[in-house]
Amino acid sequence: MNIALYTLAEASLAAQIGIPTFIIGILGLVFGVLLAIASKVFAVETDPRVDEINEILPGANCGGCGNPGCAGYADAIVNKGEAINKCAPGGAAVVAEIAKIMGQEASEVQPMVAHIHCSSGGHKNTNWRYQYQGVFSCKSAVNLAGGPNACEWGCLGFNDCQRACLFDAIQVDADGMRQIDMEKCTGCGACAAACPRNLISIHPIDQKVFINCSSKAKGPEARAACGSEHACIGCGLCAKKCPEGAITVTDNLAHIDAEKCTGCGVCAEACPTKAIVVLGSRF
Amino acid sequence: MTYIGEIFVMAMSAIFIQNFLLSRFLGLCPFLGVSTRIDSAFGMGMAVIFVMTLTSSITYLINVYLLAAYPYLQTIAFILTIAALVQFVEMVIQKNAPALYKSLGVYLPLITTNCAVLGVALLNTTAVRSDGVTPYNFLDSTLNGFFSGVGFTTVLLAMAGIRQRLGLVKLPKYMRGMPIALILAGTMALAFYGFMGFKL
C-alpha cells in the first residue's frame, strides 16, 4: 500500500518533485470528485429568481435599501415580498428588470441625490480652533474636544463622505471643498451615514434650492464661527420673501420644504449672508 | 494499562488538561465569535466535533499510507482534507438544518482555517500513548480527535452560558461586548490552568 517506493536520498530529482506533486494531485482529485457527488446529493433548491435578481442589481452592496448587500435584497424581494424599487444606485432600469422577473408593475422611481448642507470645510473657508494632527477622519476629529473647526455644526473637511462613496461621486476640489457629482451620485445615502455631523441629506434630483448651512447657533455666533461667511443667521427674511411659504425657521436655522419649493430663487437673492444656493447658479 | 484506561486518560487530557481553547489556545476565533448564544454555540461545537473526528481518522490514513516518505507534505495535505470535509459538512447542514446554517453564518466555513482542527491532525502524527513510546494507531487518533472536539464544545458552551447571563448584567459602557468576553476567556483559562500537571 505504501506508494513511496524509494527514500528521498535515492530518488532522482524528477521523482523527488513528481511523486509529492502526484500525491497532492490525487488527493485533490479524489476530494474534488467526492465533493462534486455530495453537491448533487445535498443540493439545496433555491428560487432561481433570487440569482437572476442578484445579477441585475448593481453589486455595489451599499446597503441603501436597508438589506445587508445586494444578495440580501434579492433574497428579500423574492422571499419576504420586499418592494422592488428600493435600489437607488440601480435606478429605473434595474426596477424595470426586476419587475419583469417578479411579474409586477414597475413603479416610477424618483432619482435621489445627496447634498452637503455646509459651505465651510475647505482650506480657505474654515475657522480652526486648534490644529488637529490625529487620524485623517471626521469621525476621529469630531471626538477631540468637539472637533477642530470653530463651527460645531460645520463640515470638518476630513472627507469621510468621499471615502464612504462607492460610486466615486464626491470629489475634493483645489480649495479642499467636497463637490458632489450629480451624474454619478445614486442617492444611496452612504455618505449621509458616514458624516458625523449629519450635514448630508438625500433629496429628489429636481430639488434645486438648498440652505447651505446647518448651524443652529444664534446669528452673531454662527457668523463668527463660520469660515465661509455664508452662515444661516436665522433672520427669517427668506421665509418672508418666499411666495410659496416653503421656508420655516426653527432653532435659528431655515428649512426648505421640498414639496412646496418651486425653485424660483427669490430666497437666495434675499438672504443677507448668501447661505441659500440655487444649484446651477452657484455664487 | 488496559485500553479502557488509555481512552480515559486520552479523554481527560483532551477535554481538560490539554484543552484546545484554554490550554493550547488554538481555534479562538469561533470561541469569541459564536459564543454569544448557547444554541448556535452547540451547533458550532457539534460541527467541530464532526470535522475533528473525521479529520483525525482520514489524516491518519493519509499520513501513514501516503505521506510516510514525505512528512513535509503533512500540512498541505491535511489542509486539503480539512477544506474538503468542511465543505461537505456545510452542504449537509445547509440541506438538513437551514436554521443552524444561518446562525453559524461565516463561522462554518471558517472551521477550514480553524487551527484547532489542523492542530489535532498534526498533533496526532507525533502523539504517543501514556507509556511514552507507542504511537497512536487509527482508533487512538480518531478518539483523540473526537475528545478534542468534545473539549472544544465543552468550553464553547460554558463560555456561551456565561455570556448569555452577562447580557442581563449592567456593565460599564467600556466593558460591554468584547472587553468583558476577553476578560472572561482569560479567567476561564486560569481556571483550566489548575488541571495542568495532573498525572494520569
pLDDT tens digits, residue range B59-100? 999 999 888 888 888 899 999 989 998 888 888 888 888 887
Residues A196 and A241 in one domain: yes
- Output the pLDDT for position A12: 79
Mutate to test the interface with B, among A35, A40, A79 (most CBs of B within 10 A): A35
A90, A58 contact by CB (below 8 A): yes
* Chain A hits for B80, Cβ within 8 Å: 24, 27-28, 31
> Does residue A283 lie within any of the structural domains?
no
Q: What is the phi/psi pair of residue A59, to 5°? A: 80, 20
Domain boundary, last residue among A28, A43, A58: A43
Looking only at the bridges linking them, the beta strands covering A253-256 and A276-278 are: unpaired
Residues A219 and A269 in one domain: yes
Residues A181 and A63 in one domain: no
The CATH number of the domain holding residue A91 is 1.10.15.40
> Does residue A29 lie within any of the structural domains?
yes
Residues A97 and A72 in one domain: yes
> Does residue A273 lie within any of the structural domains?
yes
Local confidence band at B1 (pLDDT 50, 70, 90 cut-offs): low
Which amino acid, one-letter code, is at A130?
A: Y
Tell me the HSE value of B77 on the side-chain side, using a 13 A CA sphere: 29
Q: How far is B82 from chain A (nearest CA, A)?
A: 10
Mutate to test the interface with A, among B73, B78, B85, B93 (most CBs of A within 10 A): B73
Q: Which residues contact B10 (CB under 8 A, 6 or more apart)?
A: B140, B143, B144, B147
Q: What is the pLDDT of residues A139-186, one digit of tens each?
A: 989 988 888 988 888 999 899 999 998 888 898 888 888 988 888 888
Supply A84's cell numbers: 422592488
Residues A234 and A145 in one domain: yes
B80: nearest CA partner in chain A: A28
Any chain B CB within 8 A of the CB of A33?
no
A246/A196 Cα distance (integer angstroms): 28
Measured N-to-C along each axis, helices B115-126 and B138-166 cross at an angle, to the nearest 10 degrees, of 150
Instruction: Quote the pTM value.
Output: 0.55
**Which of the 8 DSSP states describes residue A108?**
P
Structural domain boundaries enclosing A31:
1-43
Judge: B66–A44 Cβ closer than 8 Å, yes or no: no
Shortest CB distance from A2 goes to which of B68, B77, B94? Answer: B68
A4: nearest CA partner in chain B: B69
Closest of A164, A154, A160 to residue A121, by C-alpha: A154
A121/A151 Cα distance (integer angstroms): 10
Question: Is A134 exposed, middle or buried, given 0-12, 13-18 or 19+ CB atoms closer than 10 A?
Answer: exposed
* Chain A hits for B62, Cβ within 8 Å: 27
B83: nearest CA partner in chain A: A31
Query: What's the number of domains chain A is made of?
Result: 3
